[in-house]
Amino acid sequence: MPHFTLQISPQGAILNALIGLSEARQGALKAAGQAIPNLVPIRALVDTGASATCVDPSVLQALNLSPTGNTMVVTPSTGGKPAAVDQYDVGLIVPPADRNQVPLIMTTLPVICAELLVSQGFHALIGRDVLRQCVFSYNGSIGLFTLAY
């Protein structure tokens, strides 16, 4: 099983990743003769407290995305009440630390747009929707975390 191990930062399990268009949206842009935006490099926090992956608006704006979904979300900022939010389909790539290993690639992932992430030091929360396909190990005693996929 491909995996990588990184140091736990003061903010938690932080990793570098790339966010781009979903495979299907890339195809639609090509068919329309439009340019495909470059992948956006991001810092992401692996967050077991998030049931869905959340991305800062600056990243989604750079990809010129339109919503293709809608869901209810409960966060401390919604006062514990569900709020309706748009969802966007993206592609997620987490490059491995070791070049001999394959990256974690999700070609089509629904994400929620969420503000206040950049001020907390990252652009995205990697939620349990991604972790569902992974083994996530957090070893606080030696300050390392491992993601296998």
Partner 1 sequence: MALEKELETYKNKLPELKQHEGKFVLIHGEEVVDTFTSYEDAIKEGYKKFGLKPFLVKQIHSIEQAQFVSRFITPCSV
Alpha-carbon span 116 to 121, nearest angstrom: 9
Alpha-carbon span 142 to 115, nearest angstrom: 32
Q: Which is nearer to partner 1, 66 or 141 (CB)?
A: 66
Q: Which is nearer to partner 1, 88 or 145 (CB)?
A: 88
Q: Could you tell me the smallest distance in angstroms from the CB atom of residue 25 to partner 1?
A: 6
Q: Which of 95, 105, 4, 99 is nearest to 42 (CA)?
A: 95
Q: Which is nearer to partner 1, 68 or 98 (CB)?
A: 68
Q: What is the dihedral of CA 95, 71, 87, 113, to 10 degrees?
A: -80
**Environment class of 38 (CB within 10 Å of its CB; exposed 0-12, middle 13-18, buried 19+):** exposed
Q: Could you tell me the smallest distance in angstroms from the CB atom of residue 127 to partner 1?
A: 8
What are the residues binding partner 1 (CB under 8 A)?
A: 22-25, 27-29, 31-32, 34, 47, 49-52, 54, 57, 60-61, 65-78, 82-86, 88-89, 107-108, 110, 112-117, 120, 125, 127
Q: Could you tell me the smallest distance in angstroms from the CB atom of residue 86 to partner 1?
A: 5
Q: Which is nearer to partner 1, 4 or 13 (CB)?
A: 13
